[in-house]
Amino acid sequence: MDHDLGGISDLAIRLATEAGEILRKGRHSALADVTATKSSPVDIVTALDRESETHIVGAIRTFRPGDAILGEEGTSVEGTTGVRWLIDPLDGTVNFTYGIPYFAVSIGVEIDGVRTIGAVFNPATEELYTATRGDGARRNGTLIEPRPTPALSTALVGTGFAYVQDIRVAQAATFQKILPAVRDIRRLGACALDACSVAIGRLDAYYELNINPWDISAGDVIASETGARVTSFDGGVAETSAIIGRGE
């Protein structure tokens, strides 16, 4: 089936920026709007997570009613077109609620099972990252140039941690092995933006255990289109774990 990649990309970008505006307007009341927890008592959900996802999903179902949709806040729609949208309506919820300007709306699109389009928007900094596979990645419309591969010993590496204690124990063990081998490690708190940070050179690499497809789908396309290699820990597709970097 032929797909209108330009039209799908335009819709993804529009919805990421519209949802980002919802987050920007509600940002100052976010901590009071915490409505639930998920994997643990510290894994929070706000009313704005849900409002953002509702806006995105409603528009997709209006303009592309046959597409599949998977969203972090519970949306799961089967499709018939070969197009699937993966939505993180607020990546970095804890940052958002504490007023830390490192959060984003992340929208990835798979075409016939291949991650093809990504849009990640941080409304706090007004940075919009976009990519279509084979056409490069852009920040606010400007093409992102591929960056050189640093030596591991001088690499600034990003990571993230789960909100479940048992998983954190395993993540801490991995952290202890990696920290002595690199320049330093940053835990910034938003997987999609971490992938974009590798794309533009704010990080040299990124890794994380215990992620979800909506966390990494858009960032995978954006980072890959700048020459980064994106895999799971076992070398497959990054879905439940991710390593993003340059070189072998």
User: Each residue of 100-152: pLDDT tens digit?
Assistant: 999 999 999 999 999 999 999 999 999 999 999 999 999 999 999 988 888 99
> Hey, how many other C-beta atoms are within 10 angstroms of the C-beta on 10?
14
Does residue 34 carry a pLDDT above 80? no
Q: What is the pLDDT of residue 147?
A: 85
> Sign of the CA dihedral 205, 207, 212, 213?
positive
> Rounded CA gap, 244 and 8, in Å?
25
pLDDT digits (tens, 9 = 90+) for 200-220: 999 999 999 989 999 999 999
For the whole model, what pTM was predicted?
A: 0.93
> Rounded CA gap, 248 and 71, in Å?
32
pLDDT digits (tens, 9 = 90+) for 35-58: 666 666 666 678 888 999 999 999
Among all chains, which residue has been given the structure tokens 């706000």? 46
pLDDT digits (tens, 9 = 90+) for 150-186: 899 999 999 999 888 889 999 999 999 999 999 999 9
- Assign 26 a pLDDT band (cuts: 50, 70, 90): confident
What are the tokens at 47? 């009313």
